[in-house]
Amino acid sequence: MNRKIPYGKQYISEEDIAAVSKALTADFLTQGPTILEFENKFAAYVGSKYAIAVANGTAALHLCTLALGVNEKSKVITTPITFTASANCVRYCDGEVDFADIDSETVLLSIESVRKKLALAPKGTYQGIIPVDFAGYPVDLEAYRKLADEYGCWIIEDACHAPGGYFTDSKGIKQRCGNGQYADLAIFSFHPVKHIACGEGGMITTNNEKLYQKIMALRTHGITKDPKKLTENHGGWYYEMHDLGYNYRFTDFQAALGISQLSRAPENLKRRKAIAKKYDEAFKGTAFEVILPDNNTGHAYHLYVIQTDNRKGLYDYLRTKNIFAQIHYIPVNTQPYYKDRGEYPTPNANKYYDRCLSLPMYPTLTDEEQDWVVEQVKSFRK
Ligand SMILES: *Cc1c(COP(=O)(O)O)cnc(C)c1O
């Protein structure tokens, strides 16, 4: 096959293009009504009370750590198998990151590993936990909430990989990723490889009104025009800055794209699940290990990961066939920046990193292309 097959790719339709064109001739390019419409629709999709659209997923994480009051005395636990931003948001506020290990079965942050850290440290050492719905596999946030409450910790769910995913709680209720039922805050990204592509973009969801208000202000310089909050009032132009915020705004034409993309999210998720099922069956009984969620777990399949010996050999071989598989992720704690800050033993994460490979997974991947990918992976083995 001559076509290049990436591991992930955006899907832009004619409707998307029409929606953006229309938005470009509207009165507002930014700070207009389309942003609120996207926020409301996104909140409805994930099942949260509030949603705040921001410049990107990293800005979303930063606003979360700011709003939760992370400072130089804070210590926060996250997973090594994630994009670096999940950890960096703590450092932006001068807090310290600690990395617990992953669960080898799910590749998610191991709750046992987190529990051990919390139990061994003097109470009050840790302020928060940032679990990640890695690859689209939803974290059991009910279990994390219970643990976090024992130690007075908050939870930020990094749900960048999992819009539309859900786990089933102990009452048998499907809890959608980012619905704010158990986590204090959740964040999403609209980078092109994610489920909803807006070029750049991010979303924070929550059910906590105070955090919502705080983050809304921090998104725009910490400035308010709300007459109830002003300490003085000089007239119609008057505003006050109460906190040190940022310009982390989203734009109206991106929101128009987001709304259009969101309307296709359910069918795209269905397609991702069909692709995953086909991979599952193709690698059944082979030496390629796959991650199989149980029947109560709604995996969102941002990534489809196989684990194998001689992963580098397979990665290089697939490139010669124009298949651009990818590695997710280099353990964040092994990055030079974090290595200089401390030692975080994560044997499971290191072992996973040596063996993992993300195969092409996106809604417009054709059956023919997927067959080709499977064939090439299997032929490398022979
Ligand atoms: C993409 C991603 C981010 C960061 O999102 P950006 O929009 O690229 O800033 C954070 N966490 C995870 C797990 C991601 O995949």
Domains with residue ranges and CATH for the chain: 6-264 (3.40.640.10), 266-381 (3.90.1150.10)
Query: What is the spatial distance between Cα 9 and Cα 360, in angstroms, rounded to a whole number?
Result: 9
pLDDT in tens, 51-79: 999 999 999 999 999 999 999 999 999 99
* pLDDT tens column, 303-328: 999 999 999 999 999 999 999 999 99
pLDDT above 70 (res 38):
yes
189 alpha carbon to ligand 1 midpoint, in Å? 6
Spell out which residues line ligand 1, taking CB within 6 angstroms: 56-58, 82-83, 85-86, 132, 158, 160-161, 189, 191, 202
Kindly report the average pLDDT of the chain as a whole number.
97
CB 107 within 8 A of CB 291: yes
Mean pLDDT calculated for residue range 11-27: 97
Residue count of the chain: 382
pLDDT above 90 covers a percentage of the chain that reads 98
Q: Residues near 160 by Cβ (< 8 Å), separated by ≥ 6?
A: 57, 83, 132, 133, 187, 188, 189, 194, 302
Which of 160, 254, 301 has the most ligand 1 atoms within 8 A of CB, as the residue to mutate? 160
- Residues 164-180, mean pLDDT to the nearest whole number: 98
Query: Is 135 strand, coil or helix?
Result: helix
What is the rounded average pLDDT of the residues 220-249? 96
Query: Residue 303 carries which side chain, given as an amino acid letter?
Result: L
Q: Residue 1's pLDDT is what? A: 75
* Mutational test site, ligand 1, from 62, 83, 330, max ligand atoms within 8 Å of CB: 83
What value does the mean pLDDT take over residues 121-126?
A: 96
Average pLDDT of the residues in 181-200: 98
- Paired tokens of 1: 């096959």
At position 79, the amino acid (one-letter code) is T
- Reply yes or no on whether the pLDDT at 382 is more than 70: no
Given pLDDT bands bounded at 50, 70 and 90, which one contains residue 26?
Answer: very high
The protein residue with its alpha carbon nearest to ligand 1, atom 7, reads 57
Residue 287's Cβ-side half-sphere holds a number of Cα atoms within 13 Å equal to 12
Average pLDDT over residues 233-253: 97
pTM, entire model: 0.98
**First vs last Cα of the chain: how many Å apart?**
20
Atom in ligand 1 nearest the alpha carbon of residue 190 = 7
What atom of ligand 1 comes closest to residue 189's alpha carbon? Answer: 7
**Which among 7, 10, 58 is the best mutation to test ligand 1's pocket, defined by most ligand atoms within 8 Å of the CB?**
58
**376 compared with 382, residue with greater pLDDT:** 376
pLDDT value, residue 2? 78
Q: Give bridge partners of residue 298 from the DSSP assignment.
A: 166
